[in-house]
Amino acid sequence: MSDTTGDTTAAIQEGAKKSGVLWLTLDRPRLAWHTWHEGAIYLVTGGGEQDLPGLAGLGTVGVTLRSKDNGARLVGFDADVLVVDQAAEPEAVAALAKDRLNAPDSEHLTERWARDATVVRLTPR
């Protein structure tokens, strides 16, 4: 994958806003739901959420965004991986929780994440 340019940055932002899922290059390609917030992709792993093994320990990860309309590949890029201090970024965690569909415990979702899950920010390179 490559560093982002102006055109790529616009494609990443548009694709991440329009589609709630992306592909990560981990032990194998992994589908993950996410949210776009203030120039970065946020997602949650573990604690009863999606299983994204090894993501939190990476420095960078390959990301592929696909079209919501037809599934075609929009853009692939590398992103810096950072584990989020959930208490320090409440707006990002709230945005991620808002986009979490069908949570069995929506009233206590962010508390469960703080206790049992890892929130990760992916910043396009």
DSSP line for 55-71: GGG-SEEEEEEE-TTT-
Q: Mean pLDDT, to the nearest integer, of 72-92?
A: 93
Rounded to an integer, what distance in angstroms lies between the CA atom of residue 91 and that of residue 98?
10
Up-side HSE of residue 30: CA atoms within 13 Å toward CB? Answer: 18
Percent of the chain with pLDDT over 70: 94
pLDDT in tens, 21-74: 999 999 999 999 999 999 999 999 998 899 999 999 999 999 999 877 777 788
Which comes out higher in pLDDT, residue 44 or 6? 44
Q: What is the pLDDT of residue 2?
A: 46
Rounded to an integer, what distance in angstroms lies between the CA atom of residue 122 and that of residue 4?
13
Do 45 and 118 meet the contact criterion of CB atoms below 8 Å apart? yes
Q: Mean pLDDT of all residues in the chain?
A: 90
Q: What is the pLDDT of residue 5?
A: 60
Burial class of residue 111 in the structure, from the number of CB atoms within 10 Å of its CB (0-12 exposed, 13-18 middle, 19+ buried): exposed
Query: What are the phi and psi torsion angles at 86 (to 5°)?
Result: -60, -35
Q: What is the pLDDT of residue 6?
A: 66
Percent of the chain with pLDDT over 90: 69
Rounded to an integer, what distance in angstroms lies between the CA atom of residue 9 and that of residue 2?
12
CATH 3.40.1000 fits 6-118, yes or no: no
Non-local CB neighbours of 74 within 8 Å, separated by 6+ positions:
11, 14, 15, 65, 66, 67
Give me the residue spans of the domains in the chain: 6-118
pLDDT in tens, 57-72: 999 999 999 877 777 7
